[in-house]
Amino acid sequence: MRIVFAASECVPYSKTGGLADVVGALPPALAFLGHKVTVYVPRYRMTRIENPETAIASITVPFDDRYRFCSVLDGHVQNGVQFYFVDYPPYFDREALYGTPLGDYHDNAERFALFCRAVLEATKILGAPEIFHCHDWQTALIPILLKTLYDEDPAFAQTRCVFTIHNLGYQGLFPPEVLPLLMLPWDLFSMDKLEFYGKVNFLKGAIDAADYLTTVSRKYAQEIQTTEYGFGLEGVLRARTANLVGILNGVDYTEWNPATDKMIAANYSADDISGKAVCKRDLLKEFGLAPDTQLPVLGIVSRFAGQKGFDLIQYVADRMATEDLIVIALGTGDREYEDLFRRLAKQYPQKFAVKIEFNNRLAHKIEAGADLFLMPSKYEPAGLNQLYSLKYGTVPIVRATGGLDDTIEHYDPATGKGTGFKFREYSGEALLTTIQSALLAYRDTQKWRRLMHNGMEQGYSWSVAAREYVKVYERAKQGRLTPIVPV
Ligand code: ADP
């Protein structure tokens, strides 16, 4: 099958979160199954391309004030996948991908509309696919355009669109005036299309227009159809339930494997775990803490956002400081939570350490050097860090939601079964009690070893997920009008 991925980030060229990991790993897994896969991403300031060549010198993108002209760079074939970069420096040669700590860039609608139009036009020259696989609101205009302005384009007569929701919390909401600015028809501004409480909602439009929808875990696919997790789109999603399926993200074990990881102080595996103690000392040193402690280390690598359960951590942080544990956190995000961790590190310098930065090397060091990993998310579409933690023998403490619920089995000391610690109620007390039971279990060294092993033996390979996606592509090719039994 000829498949084109369009996404706003992709490892190793750009990353703010799990989307980049998925777009970096799923295409090679599909290529390995014999499919012809092409990936389009914007060229940001952070994007490093080896020997870029111009694939298309100029693509005209109409806006109502004036035309914009972008180009497409050939990033060559990597791991069996062809990469192209949409280059338009006024929009993408910026400090960050979507905005600064002060807020989103004011012209995000224009930026990603230009990207979507450029991808459609570029594929008409470089090869129209059987399947467009689009991701999150930034590429939502592709299914919308295919069903509207481009619906009579012969280049796309056989093309179907699969749309993956990586996080329903980000919908691409803009004032109605963006429609004429982007030269989109006004009749899209209706309740059954893009209109959402007086605004334009790109994600809503894609949910309606895509031939098939996926999200990144089975549980999240169910949750987003409920009022609690649906962010107001639960009704729209329920209307598409026959064409909505959850496929759990895999892990790129060429990058996240303690046996081969080059970023950590010592390699180790389930058979010989001795290197993990070296990694722990190295981590403690890296964060300016005494390296020879007997206390368990609880790691956090996260966007500092409400979604990730930081309000719960905030609520119990001072009580956590009285427990026998050390907390090491890495992340950036909301000012409130950055300040919280700065305060904790100052007030309890032997118990809390933090680095406010985005640093992949440190993320690896935390996965390897910590004993426990904390993800108390309010909602979590898939979650990758808990999967990395399992592989690194770092026992996850998670809230039972979305992908966290699908992937972590609560540990039962009586049977020795399970892979981590899980709580359901979204409260600080539930979080603290769960941390305390993990600390209690940690004292039994032998049982703890078994618990680590249980996790290290788990495998979430992309080849399994890729096969599931191929089934979805096949179904999408049959067209959305056929009633489809969810896979
Ligand atoms: P989300 O996409 O919602 O942020 P995921 O758990 O799906 O959450 O993916 C987060 C990804 O981003 C992981 O690969 C994680 O290691 C990485 N990450 C998050 N924050 C940082 C950081 N401060 N430094 C390095 N990597 C980070």
* Residue 79: both structure tokens together: 């791991």
Residue 487's pLDDT band, with cuts at 50, 70 and 90, is very low
Q: Is the pLDDT of residue 484 over 50?
A: no
Pairing of strands 81-87, 244-246: unpaired
Which atom of ligand 1 sits closest to the CA of residue 355? Answer: 23
Ligand 1 lined by 169 (C-beta under 6 Å): no
Residue 429's pLDDT band, with cuts at 50, 70 and 90, is very high
The pLDDT value recorded for residue 439 is: 98
Count of C-beta atoms within a 10 Å radius of residue 370: 28
CA-CA-CA-CA torsion for 111, 117, 118, 121, nearest 10 degrees? Answer: -170
Mean pLDDT within 411-420: 97
Ligand 1 lined by 17 (C-beta under 6 Å): yes
User: Hey, is 267 helix, strand or coil?
Assistant: coil
Pocket test for ligand 1, best of 255, 358, 362, 378 (most atoms within 8 A of CB): 358
CA-CA distance, 451 to 390, in Å (whole number)? 10
What distance in angstroms lies between residue 190's CA and the mean position of ligand 1's atoms? 36
Pocket test for ligand 1, best of 23, 138, 301 (most atoms within 8 A of CB): 301
Task: Kindly give the interhelix angle for 360-369 and 275-286, rounded to the nearest 10 degrees.
Answer: 130
What distance in angstroms lies between residue 331's CA and the mean position of ligand 1's atoms? 8
Ligand 1 lined by 363 (C-beta under 6 Å): yes
Taken as a whole, the chain contains a residue count of 487
What distance in angstroms lies between residue 260's CA and the mean position of ligand 1's atoms? 20
What is the residue-averaged pLDDT of the chain? 96
List, in order, residues 6 or more apart from 469 with CB less than 8 Å away.
Answer: 26, 30, 133, 162, 214, 247
pTM: 0.94
What distance in angstroms lies between residue 302's CA and the mean position of ligand 1's atoms? 5
Q: Is the pLDDT of residue 392 over 70?
A: yes
What distance in angstroms lies between residue 308's CA and the mean position of ligand 1's atoms? 11
CA-CA distance, 231 to 196, in Å (whole number)? 11
**Which residues on adjacent β-strands are paired with residue 163?**
134, 213
CA-CA-CA-CA torsion for 460, 463, 464, 470, nearest 10 degrees? Answer: 140
Ligand 1 lined by 382 (C-beta under 6 Å): yes
Q: Is the pLDDT of residue 105 over 60?
A: yes
The pLDDT value recorded for residue 486 is: 43
Percent of the chain, pLDDT > 70?
98
φ, ψ dihedrals at 337, nearest 5°: -85, -30
CA-CA distance, 283 to 371, in Å (whole number)? 11
The pLDDT value recorded for residue 102 is: 81
* Nearest partner of 40 among 15, 12, 10, judged by Cα: 10
Residue-wise pLDDT for 147-205, tens only, equals 999 999 999 999 999 999 999 999 999 999 999 999 999 999 999 999 999 999 999 99
Pocket test for ligand 1, best of 8, 21, 373, 460 (most atoms within 8 A of CB): 21
